[in-house]
Structure 1
């Protein structure tokens, strides 16, 4: 008998949104995307952490403005529970986006973005990528670069990896460009982060620009 390939579990998503119409639209969009399933919805910052502890979602799609305060303040608790956090907001500045990154958030999108962009962002965040609105990314990198430390020495392959990270390439794209496996790519990325003293790919690019490691 042929052996069937193992099934891939869907990405479990918790929505944190207090407006019913918006939440329903988001849920419909995410549920129609292969590989995503919405496991719950929270309406406040406090309930988000309670629900995340109970449901253990892979990704939390977090509204920034909630009835009990700024959603960004909940990122640390949600990340500590093992969830990756993608923030949604009606408007944002580079300073807000930098706060999200510094708090451990994996990305920030504007609510004006097309729903298919949100679907892709959730999948990328679940896969370990960092996804920020393209219009905010340069400002985020500039602000984060103020915390860099110099002195890193990268190998030629690590420098190539860093350059691709700066171009916004995903792990899969980097592997394809370099002609190496996904695990090898992850190892290259991890060594770049360690050498630059960065906690995320986004920080690594910011630090490298400040240190003159990127053109």
Structure 2
């Protein structure tokens, strides 16, 4: 494997044994290299600026600066993948809104964790199975009234996006071409100021559009 194919990882967790354990587990997996560890969010941000990791595995609850705040500070600079024991709705939504590229629970097997790191680096958001279920439940819920004006057609498209429909399904339901749906989705993401369909779905949940 070429050196350029190896994903360079920084681990942020306030428990030393956890940091060392994850480091040891990932050392056995191909295509992943742990280049540093941090005991809290502030240290993670500092080390990320120094070491330029491809992916930061970030815990949620840490002293000094938690993982959500650190993820927000690292947004646009590197890929942040949350790795935590907490699967509460509030943490999940806050982390994704801060720009995290996924949310994994610490019971994930080592091989699956390494694969999630590789896929996150490639631009594919990653979620533990339990978290995916919670996220699906969230986007089926209701929230407060909306605050950003979308056209009626954009709202229809957003509702279907939030329910997990692909562009082809949306086109069929709304009797539109796939190209038109793609344009609507792009406009929606831009107007909402979110980076992907998952964050758009969270917005739809929070604004009571479902």
Do structure 1's residue 10 and structure 2's residue 6 form an aligned pair?
Answer: yes
What is the match of residue 93 of structure 2?
A: 98
What is the match of residue 111 of structure 1?
A: 106
What is the match of residue 83 of structure 1?
A: 78
Out of 107, 121, 130, the residue aligned to residue 126 of structure 1 is 121
Once the two structures are superposed, the pairs formed by residues 1-215 of structure 1 within 5 Å of their partners are 8-80=4-76, 82-132=77-127, 133-142=131-140, 150-151=150-151, 166=164, 192-196=185-189, 197=191, 199=194, 200-206=196-202
Change (3 A) 1:67 1:195: closer
| TM-score scaled by length of structure 2 | 0.70
What is the match of residue 182 of structure 1?
A: none
- CA deviation after TM superposition for structure 1 residue 15, in Å: 0.4
Paired residues in the alignment total: 182
- Hey, what's the Cα distance between the residues in 2 that align with 1:88 and 1:42? 13
Change (3 A) 1:190 1:100: farther
- Equivalent residues of 2:142, 2:209 under 8 A apart: no
Partner-residue secondary structure (3-state), 1:135: helix
- Hey, what's the Cα distance between the residues in 1 that align with 2:53 and 2:7? 8
102-111 vs 30-39, which deviates more?
30-39
Change (3 A) 1:129 1:144: farther
- Hey, what's the Cα distance between the residues in 2 that align with 1:36 and 1:142? 36
What is the match of residue 180 of structure 1?
A: none
What is the RMSD of the two structures over their aligned residues, measured on CA atoms? 3.4
Extract unaligned runs of 5+ from structure 1: 1-5, 175-187
- Hey, what's the Cα distance between the residues in 1 that align with 2:115 and 2:209? 32
- CA deviation after TM superposition for structure 1 residue 119, in Å: 1.7
Change (3 A) 1:13 1:144: farther
- Equivalent residues of 1:58, 1:84 under 8 A apart: yes
